[in-house]
Amino acid sequence: MEHERDESSGAPLLIPHGSVIVADWHRCPDSKEYFSKIFQKKRRKTFGLLEAPAMPPQIHVDTVRYKVFLAGKSGVGKTALAARLGGSDIPTMHYETTGIETTAVFWPVKLKDNGQVLFFKFHFWDCGENALRRFDHLLPSCKEKMDAVLFLFCFTDHGSFEDLSNQISRVSHPSHRIVKLVVGTKFDLFMHTDVTEREIRTFQETSGLPVFRVGGDVNAGLGEVAPLLNALAEHLWHQDCVTASCAPLSSQV
């Protein structure tokens, strides 16, 4: 299938859902053994810096690591999204994040091509927007060796949607291969929505970036976070394959 192309890198911008990894694998019986390792007492397990899911010795699973930066206006829900993706409680109040906070999230994925199972380890970098503006050294740290960015806006604040183009130009550089996805938060507050579906469609068409919607109860299970984590994994894996196929042969050995 012919994909839309990013002129700067030659990489497709949009990858059809389920073309690289098995879609909705968390619902398949053969995934149970892997997903059980990211849970503890029916809750998502939080992993320390050097911790990883413990598989039985006869099952070897490679882990691939990616740095993902969360960008967006203050109050859009960057800290809440990091908590949501990691399965921890979402802060009910808005406390400005005063520096950089990182969250490690493990996510099992089955590749469609060869059936190989991998643990994706996403390292989410969440920096308070006001701290980012105040201290010049924070943005370069967040951007250093990042693999992906989630650009956030919230459905209850049109200003945060308008701010997306600033966020995108501030964070991305045309020559960098970076996965870019957009996340609309507070979708549960649809009665107060300030951003229309038409605006979202137009944005998707002009920017070529997919838009995901999140909101609501964090205890809704994996179904709530799976679409975003799977899309992130799928785009990152695809980006790596494109980079590897473009690299000179000597560097592929």
Ligand X SMILES: Nc1nc2c(ncn2[C@@H]2O[C@H](COP(=O)(O)OP(=O)(O)OP(=O)(O)O)[C@@H](O)[C@H]2O)c(=O)[nH]1
**Binding test (CB under 6 A) with ligand X, winner from 1, 49, 54, 93:** 93
Question: Which neighbouring-strand residues pair with 105?
Answer: 122
**Binding test (CB under 6 A) with ligand X, winner from 96, 113, 144, 217:** 96
Tokens of 7: 């002129």
Neighbours of 85 (CB within 10 A): 25
Binding partner of 90, given ligand X, Mg ion, none, CB within 5-8 angstroms per partner class: ligand X
CA–CA–CA angle 16, 19, 23 (5° rounding): 95
**Binding test (CB under 6 A) with ligand X, winner from 76, 149, 164, 178:** 76
Comparison of 92 and 114: residue with beta carbon closer to ligand X:
92
Q: Which residues contact 73 (CB under 8 A, 6 or more apart)?
A: 129, 152, 153, 157, 159, 160, 163, 167
Comparison of 38 and 183: residue with beta carbon closer to ligand X:
183
**Binding test (CB under 5 A) with Mg ion, winner from 31, 79, 156, 160:** 79
Site for ligand X in 123-162 (CB under 6 A): 128-130
Comparison of 1 and 191: residue with beta carbon closer to ligand X:
191
Q: Can residue 186 be called a binding residue for ligand X (CB under 6 A)? A: yes
Q: How far is CA 16 from CA 1, 3, 47, 144, 171, in A?
A: 9, 9, 31, 28, 25
Binding partner of 3, given ligand X, Mg ion, none, CB within 5-8 angstroms per partner class: none
CA–CA–CA angle 214, 193, 158 (5° rounding): 95
Site for ligand X in 210-229 (CB under 6 A): 214-215
Residues in contact with Mg ion by CB under 5 A are 78-79, 97, 128
